Amino acid sequence: MGIIYIMWLRQLKRYWRSKSRMMGALGMPILFLIALGFGFGAIYQKAGGGNYLEFLAPGIIAMSILFTSMLNGTEVIWDRQFGFLKETLVAPVSRIKIMIGRTLGGATVAFLQGILIFLISIILGFRVTNFSCIPLTLLFMFLIAVLFTALGTAIASKMEDMHAFPLIMNFLIMPLFFLSGALFPLDNLPKFMEVIVKINPLSYGVDGIRGALTNASHLGLFFDFIVLFVLTLIVSLIGSYLFSKIEV
Amino acid sequence: MELIKTENLTKKFGKFVAVDSISFSVNEGEIFAFLGPNGAGKTTTIRMLTTLLHPSGGKIKINGFNPLTEKDKVRHSFGIVFQDPSLDDELTAYENMEFHAVLYSLGKKIRKKRIEELLKFVELWERKNEQVKHFSGGMKRRLEIARGLLHHPKILFLDEPTLGLDPQTRNHMWQYVLKLNKSEGMTVFLTTHYLEEAEKVADRIAIIDNGKIVKLGTLQELKKATKTKSLEEAFLKITGRDIREEKASAKDNLRIRGKVFGRR
């Protein structure tokens, strides 16, 4: 059994054992799907946009992955507070491996959460038009999961306690979600909005999932993939560096 | 052979000097007690010896290795029971042990055998599949001690290991540590506020105050030098009777000082 595997396994066990957390993380995405999906559905249809739920579901899948993975990344702070971080940092293993195991574990959990939302959106009426693109969808989902788990870990490595968490929630996670095109189409946006959306990494994840599932990519699937892949590499490297510098 | 050796070891947090140029050495097989009032610099010293904190100055050798450049060799050499809990509450007792065994790359067979042996010893074998969050404080402590011993370290760091344990468990723990000390020649570096414990088990005692070692010697030497009858009397004579401010950590300490003396 390797270090990476045992770190990964630990994240999964923790996820599996706290059912309340699993359920809690489903609440908001389901609420969004129902309230927005059905609430705006009629207007959207009238405006000529087609089926809103069809448009919205990929965005909400990306959202659930974003939330869960950022939360998993910041679990480093809990480990610091409950002391377990010391146990891993004092062991004769490279911190890079610990970081990789952690990130993959957190990302797997977020990925599973995304699949749950995917299934729930199908129950609510989302129709997959292109089944052959499911693997591509999963690839995009996993990339977002790794990217934001690594980002969460990087941020958490510089944080001493949970007090700054609302700050991250309101000034990072929420803007990332709302300004990503998860809720609205990217056509004919005001110029400043378009710029913001294009800076936001989640936009490429949302667009990728949407493109794969419903053939409605705005930015181009290949471009989405390249942007996400490169960003994931960069953020993981920064995260590994910051994590390796933690002192407890 | 000297298993722990420091020369002018120093740690500063901003302007505050937490550990002030201390030099000492601990021999193989020795039980070395490192005593001092709250905030004296004990835990900061342990964190530097165990590669968790970068010293501001001075030299350290652990088992002949340098914690700055040969981290992994140093980390293989010691086990540690931290002052505060460091278990994963969501995992079971067995999983916590297994996790540790993998981190220290113990083979599968040895792993199983030792985990069973140690969990039986700390009397947690019957509850090995329970999540640690359901354990009492004493049980968690016992599990941490078992975990610290799992990879048969040459040096065992015990940072206030018996805090919050009942006399039975304390007794039991010391019996086992002393047994390993005798049979395997395991070196023990101990901090504690229970002076009678140090009195009973320690070969040599260092007393640290305000970041400096103020006395170092055997129990007899300390008592003789202070003309007292017990370690507690000697300790109070050396460090004074004033109550020290209790501080969460050296960093908090720094903040408090910054507020009081700095930014006016």
Question: What is the tens place of the pLDDT at every residue in B13-61?
Answer: 999 999 999 999 999 999 999 999 988 999 999 999 999 999 999 999 9
Mean pLDDT along residues B176-187 = 90
Mean pLDDT along residues A182-199 = 93
Residue B258: pLDDT over 60? no
Give residue A190's pLDDT. Answer: 94
Q: For residue range A79-127, what is the model confidence (pLDDT) as tens digits?
A: 988 889 999 999 999 899 999 999 999 999 999 999 999 999 999 999 8
The rounded mean pLDDT for chain A is 92
Mean pLDDT along residues B148-152 = 91
* Segments of chain B assigned E as strands: 2-13, 16-27, 31-35, 57-62, 78-81, 155-159, 187-191, 204-209, 212-217
Q: A66 near A28, Cβ under 8 Å?
A: no
Q: Where are the domains of chain A?
A: 3-244
Cβ-Cβ contacts under 8 Å, B103 against chain A: 3, 6, 87-88, 91-93
User: Considering chain B, what percentage of its residues have pLDDT values greater than 70?
Assistant: 92
Mean pLDDT along residues B102-125 = 93
Residue B256: pLDDT over 60? no
- B107, closest residue in chain A (CA to CA): A1
Q: A79 near A246, Cβ under 8 Å?
A: no
Give residue B262's pLDDT. Answer: 43
Give residue B84's pLDDT. Answer: 86
- Hey, of A87, A98, A109, which one would you mutate to test binding to chain B, going by the most B CBs within 10 A of its CB? A87
Nearest to A247 among B53, B82, B131 (CB): B53
Nearest to A91 among B75, B90, B131 (CB): B75
- Give the integer Cα–Cα distance in Å for A193 and A200: 11
- Give the integer Cα–Cα distance in Å for A243 and A237: 10
Q: B18 near B12, Cβ under 8 Å?
A: yes
Q: For residue range A48-83, what is the model confidence (pLDDT) as tens digits?
A: 888 999 999 999 999 999 999 999 988 899 898 888
Q: Where are the domains of chain B?
A: 2-261
- A92, closest residue in chain B (CA to CA): B72
Q: Which of B25-39, B40-54, B72-86, B244-258 has the lowest mean pLDDT?
A: B244-258
Which amino acid belongs to residue B121? Answer: F
Cα A71–Cα B100–Cα A21 angle in degrees, nearest 5: 25
Give residue B245's pLDDT. Answer: 62
Give residue B79's pLDDT. Answer: 94
Work out whether the CA dihedral B138, B139, B142, B148 comes out positive or negative. negative
Cβ-Cβ contacts under 8 Å, A82 against chain B: 85-86, 88-89
Cβ-Cβ contacts under 8 Å, B73 against chain A: 92
- Give the integer Cα–Cα distance in Å for B49 and B9: 10
- Give the integer Cα–Cα distance in Å for A179 and A229: 20
Q: Is B52 within 8 Å of A248 when comparing Cβ atoms?
A: yes
- B92, closest residue in chain A (CA to CA): A13
Nearest to B103 among A88, A160, A248 (CB): A88
Cβ atoms within 10 Å of A20's Cβ, excluding its own: 7
Nearest to B54 among A1, A2, A247 (CB): A247
Task: Give the model's confidence band at A165: pLDDT under 50 very low, under 70 low, under 90 confident, else very high.
Answer: confident
Give residue A1's pLDDT. Answer: 61
Q: How far is CA A33 from CA A47, A68, A180, A208, in A?
A: 19, 17, 16, 19
Give residue B248's pLDDT. Answer: 53
Dihedral of CA atoms A43, A46, A52, A53 in degrees, nearest 10, equals 90
Q: B66 near A76, Cβ under 8 Å?
A: no
Residue B253: pLDDT over 60? no
Residue B263: pLDDT over 70? no
Q: Does domain B2-261 have CATH number 3.40.50.300?
A: yes
Residue B246: pLDDT over 80? no
- A246, closest residue in chain B (CA to CA): B52
Mean pLDDT along residues B203-220 = 94
- Give the integer Cα–Cα distance in Å for A74 and B170: 36
The rounded mean pLDDT for chain B is 89
